Every structure is written in structure tokens, then in C-alpha cells.
A and B are shown apart, each in its own frame.
Chain A
Amino acid sequence: MRVLGIELSSPRGSVALLRDDEVVREIVWDEAPRDSRRAFDALATILREGGVAAADIDLFAAGRGPGNYSGMRVALTAAMALAMPGGRPFHAVDSGAALADAVFQETAADDVLVAGDARRGRCWHASFHRAHDGSAVAVTPWALCDAADLAARVHPAGVGASSDWERLAAAASLPGARGAWIERSVHPSAAAVARRALARWRAGEPSEPLTPLYLHPPVAAAACDARIAAAPGTA
């Protein structure tokens, strides 16, 4: 069973090839959202070095965020297009859960709050708990909160983590705040995305929705109302 994972929602992009549960090769690079070309270079390299063609992949997986919009879109669209000819399965995977998997591998914590700067004084967040097999299970859905309220949402015995620590720390004034934070960026990896997709596929479960996880509406409601009201001649 060959699985290809693509994860571009955080500042660190990655593409991974798995043979069953084993990572054959993973390529990781920084500045992912600004350079989608790297994703396709990495994809070509992984296939070439792995000695497989895209047609040989049995399952495709992509991180659906939350995170960088362009990264999420490129990852999902590319994985969809790779899977479509031949009708191969394609799973979209919560990138925050993949990040939580990394936290549980690195620390002894059983609970993690995954968060990011959502701009406009807001943060996005969700809580995950360590399951018996060590993987992350969501215990709260993704939501937005005021940046000032973020620190209080970390489980008393858990940790907080972000794929863009410096930005989140500045936005939410985190250093010195209540709760333990991993004070460096922790990234969701393409390997973790692929593993989660494989587990779900093996269990016979359908994919998560094949769309990016957006936590903001496409247009701020207040801005939209103001624009419409300002248009002369508009009732």
C-alpha cells in the first residue's frame, strides 16, 4: 500500500511517501505558502527516488488546515488531481490533528491546544487528547477566540502548540501567560497526514470534507454590509 501525503498549511511544507506505515521518504522545506513550486519539485523527487510513478500510488492525502489559505488550496487541489485519473482514493486530513500527533510524539502531555494567529485580534484553536494508540483525537471543534482569551484555553495538565509560534506569541502575548506552551513552532508533517489518512482508509471511514478548513468567512460580514450600503443607488 503506497500512500502519498502533501502538507502545505504551515510555514513548513512537506511531501511524504509511505509504504504501509513506513515512511519511505519525506521532503521538508520552509516558506511553503510562498513557494508552491517547491511542493511539485518535492513530489517529483519523491516519486523518482522512490522508484514509483504517480499512477502507482494507492492512496493520496492532503492537509486541509487550518492555516495558510494558498497552501491548503494547493495541497488539496494537487492531491485531488493526482487521485482522479484511475479513481484512486483521496483523503483530506485535519492538519491540526497531524500537528497534535507530533506533540504527542515529542512530549508526555496527554492534552494539547493547537492554535494559530487568525489576525484581527483573534486566534483559531482546537483541543486534542492522546488516544490509546498515541494518536490525537479532537475533543473540541475548531473555533475562534479573542487573542487575549487564548492562554486560558490550554488544558491545566496539557500544553499549547502552534506551527507559527513567534507570530502567535506576539498576537496573543503568550510568553509569561498562564499555561504551558511549546515555545517553538511545531509543524504538521506530510507523513503524519498520510498516516492519518491510511488509518481512516483502513477503518473504512470516509474522508473528512475535501475542502480547506477556513475559520473566517470569505468576506467580513460588517465590511460587506458597509460596502453594499455605500453603493449609490443600492436599496
Chain B
Amino acid sequence: MKVLGIETSCDETSAAVADGPRRVLSNVIHTQIAQHQPYGGVVPEVAARSHVERLPGIVEEAMRRAAAGWDGLDAVAVTSGPGLATSLLVGVAAAKAFAIRTGRPLISVHHLDGHLYSVFLDPAFPEPLRGAEGLALLVSGGHTSLVRIRDGRRAGLLGATLDDAAGEALDKGAKLMGLGYPGGPAVEKTAAGGDRDRHAFPRGLGPGTQNAPCGGMRRDLCFSFSGLKTALLYHLRGHPEDLDPARGLPHLAASYQEAVVDALIARVRRAADLTRPAFLACAGGVARNRRLREKLGMFAASAGLPLMLAPPEFCTDNAGMIAAAAAAGLGTPVDPPGALEIRPTWPLPVEEGA
């Protein structure tokens, strides 16, 4: 089954062709980082304009690299949410038109299901574990969630961030430290060689947040990063000398990054204790962070759990994961194609009893 996938939920314009659920023939991504860098974050209007301009060439290139003729396609898949409305609109309009033009079914895919499925695109994923119950950490610039996996698909949401996503916290922290955008790689690079224990930053949802609404999720499986960003802001007001690149900045960046990673690991550990998964998985843009990978590895080893990380090329937003997820049956066919609506806000259902 050959599927053309399209992904424009935020600031990456991507098209891909998957041949079945495990083989991605092409995965073309145009990242808009350079266009958003002057603003220190993603500007929706800049993103939408870029998608319109870039998408035709990206689709043509994906089809060329896959050596897949239009007649050889079996379906068209697209991320219909969650994401930026003006960005989603472009990819969804294109996908609808491709489906109408080719007479192939249109499949709507939840962006996070795509990320979740990306861990199964690792050729080294052990066969016996594909149907097993796992625990996944989805961590990116827009999302931070703990999800239970069963039979290769989402079984339920266990926890999620109540405010900023982890990647967003890294972006905002990087901005406060003057490190530029995107923040995750900038913080990671600056933190190299820094003392991770030099500064004590909060790990989120401390004792003062007992009554924070958690949307039906267990509070101890939820994340909060807004206090971390504020703590950094106040720290810098009192200690501006820590922005000195030669002296304080590496320690500051390392301590800040450690707080983000620790907050993630603590919830993963709790969720693993509760759900007793057969394997641990991590996907999303922040899954490329080396410190996070290292600490996840340490925890997985101590717990005796296989750790499955999304291949780096499928960590950032990409259409390969969308096309493959659709081929694996994770999406929803929409008939007629024109009926598909974008869903900028599309929360995952909370697992009952979690």
C-alpha cells in the first residue's frame, strides 16, 4: 500500500511516500527555522506563507525520490491536527485536492499518532515487542505527553503538560539566555561541559500546586514547565553575570537543561512503575536531545526495559511518520475528502483509570 503523506502542522513543510507501514520511500522536509529565527519563535503567518510557497516543490520531490507514479498511490494521508490553524489549512487543502484528483481515499492522521508511530519505523524494533504494551514519552516544541501503547498504537493518555511543552521551555529558556532559536539545540550545545548541579531549578508541579487542574489525568504524571522559565527569569535578574559565556553561561544552560530532563524522567519513572510496560519509547523533536537520551537509557537499563527511540530523521515534524502511520491503519478515512476539517486543538483522550 503506497501512501502519500503531507505534514504542515507547524513550521516544517513535508511530504513523503510510504510503501506499507514499515518502509518510507521518501521523506522530504523543508524546515523554516531560518525564517523564524529573527523572531525568536514560530510566527504563524510566516509559517503559513512558507507552506503555500514550498509545498508544491516538496510534494514533487517526494514523488520523484520515491519513484512512485501518481497512479501507483493507494491513499493520501495528512495531518489534520493539532497544530497551527493557518498551517494545517494548507496541507489539508492540498491533501483533499490530491485525493479528489487521484480518486484515492483521504486519511486524516492525528499529529501525535504520527510521532508515536515513528518509534516503530526503527528497523531494529524487536518483532516480539511490536504487539506488546509500551510506555511512550512524546516530547517536542508543542507537545509533552505520556502515552500507553498497545498493538503498535495509542491506547490512552496517561499524562501531559499543563502549560508549556518541554521544547517550548527550552526555547523560552534559550531566549532568556540569549542563545537564539531553536532553543533546544542551542541550550544543549551551550550546556556541554557545564555543571548541571550548579543551579537548582524547579522540576514542575511542586507542593504549591496541589490543586492544579489536571484534566482527569493523574497529577503526578503531568508536567509543568512555566515555573521553570520564571525561575530562570528571576535568577537572571539577580545574577546577570551568569550570562557571561566564558564563566556562568554553560553552567546555567546545563542546570536548566537538567531540570527539563529530570522533570521528564521523573514522570516516566512513575508511569513505568504504574503501568509495568514491556518497553519504553520516546519520540518527537526533543527526543534528539542527547542528555534526555542518556538519562532515558540509564532509567531503562535500571528498570530492565528495552528503550526504543524514534530514528533521528523521524523526530522532527515529518510526513514520513504520517504516511507510515496511515499505512498501518492509525488514521481515519474521510469520505468525501472535502469533508475533512482541520482540528487545531485535538486533545488525546485520557486513559480511564490511569
Contact = CB atoms under 8 A, between A and B. Distances in A.
Interface of A: 36-37, 39-41, 43-44, 53-55, 69-70, 73-74, 76-82, 84-86, 210-212, 214, 218-219, 224, 227-228, 231-235
Interface stretch (B49-57, B270-278, B345-353): B49-57
Nearest to A80: B56
Interface in B80-117: 86, 89-90, 93-98, 100-103
Given A69-B48, A85-B101, A43 B40 contact: no
Contacts of A210: 56
Contacts of B55: 77, 80
Contact of B98 (A36, A81, A224, A233): A81
Contact of A234 (B49, B59, B94, B175): B175
Contact of A40 (B46, B48, B100, B233): B100
B94 A85 contact: no
Given A37-B339, A84-B60, A233 B97 contact: no
Nearest to A75: B93
Given A54-B101, A84-B60, A234 B178 contact: yes
A235 B243 CA distance: 12
Most interface-central of B86, B97, B102, B339 (chain A CB within 10 A)? B97
A218 B93 contact: no
B131 interface: no
A233 B176 contact: yes
A214 B93 contact: no
Contacts of B336: 40-41, 44
Chain A binding surface, main DSSP class: helix
B39 A219 contact: yes
B341 interface: yes
Given A232-B233, A233-B243, A84 B56 contact: yes
Q: What 10 A-B pairs come out closest when comparing CB atoms?
A: A40-B338, A233-B178, A81-B97, A85-B70, A218-B45, A78-B97, A77-B93, A81-B94, A54-B101, A74-B93
B38 interface: yes
B236 interface: yes
A37 B39 CA distance: 33
A219 B53 CA distance: 17
Contacts of A231: 40, 175-176
A44 B96 CA distance: 11
B43 interface: yes
Contacts of B46: 218-219
A82 B94 CA distance: 8
Contact of B96 (A78, A86, A233): A78
Contacts of B89: 36, 70, 73-74
Interface string B310-352: 0000000000000000000000000011110100000000000
B214 to A, nearest CB: 31
B101 A82 contact: yes
B81 to A, nearest CB: 15
Contacts of B191: none
Interface of B: 38-40, 43, 45-46, 48-49, 52-53, 55-56, 59-60, 70, 86, 89-90, 93-98, 100-103, 175-179, 233, 236, 243, 336-339, 341
Given A218-B49, A227-B39, A41 B93 contact: no
A54 B100 CA distance: 7
Nearest to A210: B56
A86 B56 CA distance: 14
A218 B52 CA distance: 13
Given A54-B101, A218-B43, A227-B39, A40 B86 contact: no
22 contacts: A40-B337, A55-B101, A70-B89, A73-B52, A73-B86, A73-B93, A77-B52, A77-B90, A80-B56, A82-B100, A84-B98, A211-B53, A218-B45, A219-B43, A219-B45, A219-B46, A228-B40, A231-B175, A232-B176, A233-B179, A234-B178, A235-B178
Most interface-central of A37, A77, A212, A214 (chain B CB within 10 A)? A77
Contacts of B102: 85
Nearest to A77: B93
Contacts of A85: 70, 98, 101-102
Nearest to A235: B178
B236 A232 contact: yes
A86 B102 CA distance: 10
A70 B93 CA distance: 10
B30 to A, nearest CB: 15
A44 B100 contact: yes
B75 to A, nearest CB: 14
A229 to B, nearest CB: 11
Contacts of B101: 54-55, 81-82, 84-85
Given A40-B100, A80-B56, A82-B101, 11 more contacts: A36-B89, A40-B96, A70-B86, A73-B48, A73-B93, A77-B90, A78-B93, A85-B98, A211-B52, A212-B49, A227-B39
B48 A77 contact: no
Given A77-B94, A85-B98, A224 B39 contact: yes
